[in-house]
C-alpha cells in the first residue's frame, strides 16, 4: 500500500493483516474486544478487527465534536478541502487493485464489481472535490435598498455515517465525501460484517491530509457502536444506509435529540418490459438487474413485470440463461455470480424461497444451494412465475438471487404493478415507444427510473427513495445539501430606531 499508516495490508499469500482498527482523534486505537471477519467464498476467517466499546464511541464523538467546534476543517479554505478530496481520489486509484481485492475477500462480490466500486468512489470524491469549492451564497431582494440579505450554506456539524455490508466502500464514501466537502466532521460506522475497506479508506483520508479528529472510525455491532452514535447529543446528523427496520429504529432514537436523519433503505424494484422493447437487450439486462452481486443490491430488479404477449417466450429464455450463470468465488475470474455474504443471510434467503413456494408461486429454476456440502454461501439463481402483488415474496425484500415474474396487458396495469410496493427506490421500463416510456417513467413512484436500462448511477445525479425506501438523497447537489444548514444573514446597512414601543411610535412597516 502507499502508506505505512494503513492498518490493513495483504501478505504474500493474499491474507490481510490488521493492526489497531479503531481510529479516534487522529490515532489508531486497539480494543480488548475483537470480531472475526469471514470470507463468504469459503467461510474462512480473514482476520480479526477491534470491537468498539461504548467508551470508544463516546471518545470518537468527542473528537469529532471538538474538531468541528474548533473549526479545524470547516474554516479551512474551500480550495484546501477540495485538494484533500482530490488526493483521496488519487490514493484510491493508486491502490485500486488492492482495495478491490480486500472488498472481494470481505463481501464476496466479484473482483470486477469491486473494481467498479473503487472507480465509482473515486469519481464521487472528485465530484465533491469540485463542489467543495463552494458558492458565495444567494443574495435575496429584501425590498429595501438599505438591507443586504444573503443565504449561505454552512456545515451541519458532527455526522454519524452508518453503512451496510453489500457495498461497504461505496456507501460510506457516498456519505463521507460530501460531508467533508461541506466542512463537517464525522464518525464512520461500517457494517460489522464487512468493515475492511472502510478501515483502508480512513487510512487514505488521513494520508490525504484530513486533520486529526475530523474523521473517526468505530467498528462493531449496531446495538453498541451504531446506537451509541444515534443517541449521542453531540451528533448533529445521522446518515444511514441499511435495512428498513434498522432505519425505523434510528429515526425513533434520533427523535429524542432532533437530529437530522437521512435514510437509504431497501427496495422491491419493478422491471417492466413491454412487447415492443428490444427484447434481447431487455432480457440480458434483466439478468444483470437481479443476479449481479447475487441480488444483494438495494436497487436489484427483483420484480420482472412482463407484457402478456411476450411472457412465455421471455421467461423461457430468461430461465435458460439464469441456469447457465457461473457461480463461484469472487476472486475467480470465471465467476459471474458470487456467494451470499454470510451463513445467516443464506438462511434468510432460503426461508424466503420457502415462503414463495407456500404462497403458490411456481419455481422454474434454482431454489437451492449450489451444493449441500459447500463451504461458502452460494445460492442458485431462482425464478418464480405465477406471482401476484399479494404475495410476501413479491412485497418483501429478499436481498438474494430471486426474481418474481408478474404479467400485465395494458400500460395502465403496468404502472399499477410498478407502484404496487411499499418501497420506492428504483424501477425500469423497456419499450421502443419513447412517449410511452416517459409517460410510465413519470408515473412510477421511485427515486430512480431507468428507460431501456437497469442499474446505473452517477455521482452527479441524486440517488434515494420514495416511500419506505428512505428520506433524503445521496449524490448530486442534494447529496451535499444533506450536510449543510442554510443560514439567512440579514444586514441593515442604515440602522435607525423604530420606536415600536414608544407612545409617539414610528411603526415598523
Which of 51, 103, 192, 264 is an active site residue?
Answer: 264
Question: Are 16 and 9 contacting, i.e. CB atoms less than 8 angstroms apart?
Answer: yes
Residue 80 cell numbers, joined: 484546501
**Binding-residue pattern over the window 214 to 243 for ligand NAD, x denoting contact by CB under 6 A:** -------xx---xx--x----------xxx
* CA atoms in the 13 A half-sphere facing the CB of 446: 30
- Cα separation, 76 vs 181, in Å, equals 11
- Contacted entry of ligand NAD, ligand BTL, none for residue 170, CB cut-off 5 to 8 Å set by kind: ligand BTL
Residue of 170, 181, 265, 310 that binds ligand BTL (CB under 6 A): 170
Binding piece for ligand NAD, criterion CB under 6 A, among 70-78, 260-268, 305-313, 357-365: 260-268
Residue 119: helix, strand or coil by DSSP? helix
The reply to whether 264 belongs to the active site is yes
Report if residue 246 touches ligand BTL, rule: CB under 6 A: no
Using alpha carbons, select from 93, 95, 97, 98 the residue that is nearest to residue 15: 98
Q: Is 304 in the site for ligand NAD (CB under 6 A)?
A: no
Residue 198: which residues within 8 A CB-CB, separation 6 or more? 163, 168, 169, 172, 188, 190, 217
Q: Is 194 in the site for ligand BTL (CB under 6 A)?
A: no
Shortest Å, Cβ 466 to ligand NAD: 11
**Rule CB under 6 A: is residue 249 a binding residue for ligand NAD?**
yes
What x-and-dash track marks residues 95-134 binding ligand BTL by CB under 6 A?
A: ----------------------------------------
Residue from 16, 183, 213, 266 touching ligand NAD (CB under 6 A): that is 266
Scan residues 262-321 and list those touching ligand BTL (CB under 6 A). 297-299
Helix or strand run (H / E) with residue 441:
helix 434-443
- Binder to ligand NAD among 210, 250, 403, 480 (CB under 6 A)? 250
Q: How far is the CB of 81 from ligand NAD (least distance, A)?
A: 25
227 contact choice in ligand BTL, ligand NAD, none (CB below 5 to 8 Å, kind-dependent): ligand NAD
Task: Give the integer Cα–Cα distance in Å for 448 and 426.
Answer: 5
Cα 338 from Cα 331, distance rounded (Å): 9
Hey, which bits of 31-90 come out as E strands?
A: 34-38, 45-50
- 274 is a contact residue toward ligand NAD (CB under 6 A): no
State the CB neighbour count (10 A cutoff) for residue 456: 9
Buried b (16+ CB within 10 A) or exposed e, 253-283: bbeeeebbbbbbbbbbbbbbbbbebebeebb
Count of all residues that appear for the chain in the document: 509
User: How many Cβ atoms are within 10 Å of 338's Cβ, its own excluded?
Assistant: 30
Q: Does 191 bind ligand NAD (CB under 6 A)?
A: yes
| 367 touches ligand NAD (CB under 6 A) | no
Please identify which residue in 40, 164, 338, 418 interacts with ligand NAD, judged by CB under 6 A. 164
For cell 411472457, the residue is 311
Interface residue with ligand BTL among 31, 166, 173, 232 (CB under 6 A) is: 166
Interaction partner, residue 57 (ligand BTL, ligand NAD, none; CB < 5-8 Å by kind): none
Looking at residues 443 to 472 of the shown chain, list those that interact with ligand BTL (rule: CB under 6 A): 457
Minimal distance, residue 114 CB to ligand BTL, in Å: 12
- Distances in whole angstroms, Cα of residue 148 to Cα of each of 22, 140, 154, 244, 373: 47, 8, 19, 45, 73
What cell was used for 392? Answer: 410476501
Would the CA dihedral through 479, 480, 486, 490 be positive or negative? negative
Residue 268 vs 311, nearer CB to ligand NAD: 268
Q: At its nearest, how many Å lie between ligand BTL and the CB of residue 162?
A: 14
Instruction: Please count the residues of this chain forming the interface with ligand NAD, following the rule CB under 6 A.
Output: 32
Query: In the bound complex, which residue of the shown chain has the CB atom lying closest to ligand BTL?
Result: 298
3 state SS of 53: coil
* Relative orientation angle of helices 96-107 and 196-208, to the nearest 10 degrees: 150
Closer CB to ligand BTL, residue 195 or residue 213? 195
168 contact choice in ligand BTL, ligand NAD, none (CB below 5 to 8 Å, kind-dependent): none
Q: Which stretch binds ligand BTL (CB under 6 A): 13-21, 148-156, 166-174, 312-320?
A: 166-174
Residue 167 and residue 357: Cα distance in Å, rounded? 30
Positions that interact with ligand BTL (CB under 6 A): 166-167, 170, 297-299, 457
Residues annotated as catalytic are 264
Positions that interact with ligand NAD (CB under 6 A): 162-167, 171, 189, 191-192, 221-222, 226-227, 230, 241-243, 246, 249-250, 264-267, 298, 397, 399, 425, 465, 469-470
Amino acid at each position: 500500500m502507499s502508506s505505512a499508516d494503513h492498518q490493513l495490508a495483504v501478505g504474500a499469500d493474499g491474507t490481510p493483516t490488521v493492526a489497531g482498527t479503531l481510529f479516534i482523534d487522529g490515532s489508531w486505537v486497539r480494543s480488548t474486544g475483537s470480531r472475526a471477519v469471514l470470507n463468504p467464498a469459503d467461510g474462512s476467517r480473514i482476520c480479526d478487527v477491534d470491537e468498539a466499546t461504548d467508551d470508544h464511541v463516546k471518545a470518537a464523538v468527542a473528537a469529532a465534536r471538538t474538531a468541528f467546534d474548533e473549526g479545524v476543517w470547516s474554516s479551512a479554505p474551500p480550495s484546501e478541502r477540495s485538494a484533500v478530496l482530490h488526493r483521496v481520489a488519487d490514493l484510491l486509484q493508486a491502490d485500486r487493485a488492492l482495495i478491490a481485492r480486500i472488498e472481494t475477500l470481505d463481501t464476496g462480490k466479484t473482483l470486477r464489481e469491486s473494481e467498479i466500486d473503487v472507480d465509482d468512489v473515486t469519481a464521487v470524491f472528485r465530484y465533491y472535490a469540485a463542489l467543495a469549492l463552494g458558492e458565495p451564497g444567494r443574495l435575496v431582494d429584501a425590498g429595501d435598498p438599505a438591507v443586504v440579505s444573503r443565504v449561505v450554506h454552512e456545515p451541519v456539524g458532527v455526522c454519524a455515517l452508518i453503512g451496510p455490508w453489500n457495498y461497504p466502500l461505496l456507501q460510506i464514501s457516498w456519505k463521507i465525501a460530501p460531508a467533508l466537502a461541506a466542512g463537517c466532521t464525522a464518525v464512520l460506522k461500517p457494517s460489522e460484517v464487512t468493515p475492511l475497506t472502510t478501515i483502508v479508506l480512513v487510512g487514505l483520508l488521513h494520508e490525504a491530509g484530513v486533520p486529526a479528529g475530523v474523521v473517526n472510525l468505530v467498528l462493531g455491532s449496531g446495538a453498541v457502536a451504531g446506537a451509541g452514535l444515534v443517541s449521542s447529543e453531540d451528533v448533529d446528523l445521522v446518515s444511514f444506509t441499511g435495512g428498513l427496520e434498522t432505519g425505523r429504529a434510528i429515526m425513533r432514537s434520533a427523535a429524542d435529540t432532533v437530529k437530522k436523519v437521512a435514510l437509504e433503505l431497501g427496495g422491491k424494484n419493478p422491471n417492466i418490459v413491454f412487447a415492443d422493447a428490444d427484447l434481447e437487450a431487455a432480457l440480458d439486462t434483466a439478468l444483470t438487474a437481479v443476479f449481479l452481486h447475487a441480488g444483494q443490491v438495494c436497487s436489484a430488479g427483483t420484480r420482472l413485470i412482463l407484457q402478456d404477449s411476450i411472457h412465455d417466450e421471455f421467461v423461457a429464455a430468461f430461465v435458460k440463461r439464469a441456469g447457465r450463470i457461473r457461480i463461484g468465488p469472487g476472486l475467480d475470474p470465471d465467476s459471474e455470480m458470487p456467494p451470499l455474504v454470510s451463513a445467516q443471510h443464506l438462511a434468510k434467503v432460503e426461508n424466503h424461497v420457502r415462503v414463495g413456494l407456500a404462497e403458490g408461486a411456481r419455481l422454474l429454476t434454482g431454489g437451492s444451494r449450489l451444493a449441500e456440502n459447500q463451504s461458502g454461501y452460494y445460492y442458485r439463481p431462482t425464478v418464480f412465475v405465477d406471482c401476484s402483488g399479494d404475495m410476501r415474496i413479491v412485497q418483501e425484500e429478499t436481498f438474494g438471487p430471486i426474481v418474481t415474474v408478474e404479467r400485465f396487458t395494458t400500460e395502465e396495469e403496468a404502472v399499477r404493478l410498478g407502484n404496487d410496493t411499499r418501497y420506492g427506490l428504483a424501477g425500469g421500463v423497456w419499450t421502443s415507444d419513447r412517449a410511452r416510456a416517459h409517460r410510465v417513467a413519470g408515473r412510477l413512484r421511485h427515486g430512480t427510473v431507468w428507460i431501456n436500462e437497469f442499474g446505473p448511477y452517477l455521482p452527479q445525479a441524486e440517488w434515494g427513495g420514495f416511500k419506505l425506501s428512505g428520506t433524503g438523497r445521496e449524490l448530486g447537489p442534494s447529496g451535499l445539501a444533506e450536510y449543510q444548514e442554510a443560514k439567512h444573514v440579514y444586514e441593515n446597512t442604515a440602522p435607525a430606531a423604530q420606536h415600536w414601543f414608544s407612545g409617539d411610535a414610528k411603526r415598523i412597516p
